[in-house]
């Protein structure tokens, strides 16, 4: 392999790069670029493709932001759910304490009512005794 062959191997171009070089060579400075034939359609396809790629990228970013908002919303809902569960547990505990106090007070009320009936009967008996002992 000669030095020139070795130099050519290191300087290989792709088909697209070769076409780009030819288009630059065929384009004369000062003259407008040719818009006829396939080159013009390539430009319109390229700009259409570019718009499509930009739109896709914009949609990806929008979807990423949307996922971020949804994730934040879910996190907020989870925090709210946990807070409501704690509140619910505290309210249930308060209800149990209140029901227990109600039961104790009901029992004491029954006891006091029974004592009141017994004391009323005793008072009635004592009044009867006093009426019999004391002349009118």
Residue 67 lies in a domain: yes
Residue 89 lies in a domain: yes
Residue 70 lies in a domain: yes
**pLDDT tens for each residue of 99-111:** 999 999 999 999 9
Residue 9 lies in a domain: no
Separation of alpha carbons 18 and 40, rounded Å: 18
Q: What is the count of structural domains for the chain?
A: 1
pLDDT at 2: 53
Separation of alpha carbons 107 and 113, rounded Å: 10
Residue 46 lies in a domain: no
For the residues 60-87, what does the mean pLDDT come to? 97
pLDDT at 20: 73
Residue 78 lies in a domain: yes
**pLDDT tens for each residue of 18-48:** 777 667 676 655 555 544 445 455 555 568 8
Residue 88 lies in a domain: yes
pTM across the whole model = 0.49
């Amino acid at each position: 392999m000669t030095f020139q062959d070795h130099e050519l191997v290191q300087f290989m171009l792709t088909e697209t790069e070769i076409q780009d070089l030819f288009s630059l060579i065929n384009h004369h400075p000062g003259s407008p670029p040719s818009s006829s034939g396939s080159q013009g359609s390539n430009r319109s396809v390229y700009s259409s493709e570019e718009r499509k790629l930009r739109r896709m990228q914009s949609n990806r970013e929008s979807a990423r932001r949307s996922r971020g908002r949804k994730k934040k919303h879910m996190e907020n809902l989870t925090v709210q759910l946990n807070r409501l569960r704690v509140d619910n547990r505290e309210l249930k505990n308060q209800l149990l304490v209140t029901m227990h106090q109600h039961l104790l007070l009901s029992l004491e009320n029954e006891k006091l009512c029974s004592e009141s009936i017994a004391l009323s009967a005793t008072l009635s008996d004592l009044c009867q005794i006093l009426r019999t002992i004391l002349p009118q």
